[in-house]
Amino acid sequence: MAATEPRTDPLTREVVDLIATVVMRYHEEYELVASQHSLTGAQARVLGLLAREPAPMRHVARQLKCEPSNVTGIVDRLEARGLVERRPDPSDRRVKVAAATEEGRATADVLRDALDFAREPLAGLTSLERKMLRDLLRRMLGDEQPEDPGPAGDQPAKGG
pLDDT tens digit sequence for 16-42: 999 999 889 888 888 999 999 999 999
- pLDDT at 116 > cutoff 80: no
Dump pLDDT digits (tens) for 55-106.
999 999 999 999 989 999 999 999 999 999 999 998 898 889 999 999 999 9
Distance spanning both ends of the chain, measured CA to CA = 55
Same domain, residue pair 83 and 130: no
Report the SS3 class of residue 1: coil
Same domain, residue pair 110 and 128: no
Q: Mean pLDDT score of the chain, rounded to an integer?
A: 86
Same domain, residue pair 128 and 103: no
Task: Enter the pTM of the model.
Answer: 0.72
Q: For residues 26 and 118, is the Cβ–Cβ distance under 8 A?
A: yes
Q: For residues 78 and 111, is the Cβ–Cβ distance under 8 A?
A: no
DSSP 101: -
Residue ranges of alpha helices (H) inside the chain are 10-35, 41-52, 57-64, 68-80, 102-113, 116-123, 127-140
Distance CA 100, CA 98 (A): 7
Query: What pLDDT shows up at residue 147?
Result: 55
Domain, as residue range, for 60: 27-114
Same domain, residue pair 137 and 86: no
- Is 100 within the bounds of a domain? yes
The structural domain count of the chain equals 2
Same domain, residue pair 81 and 129: no
Query: What pLDDT shows up at residue 159?
Result: 44
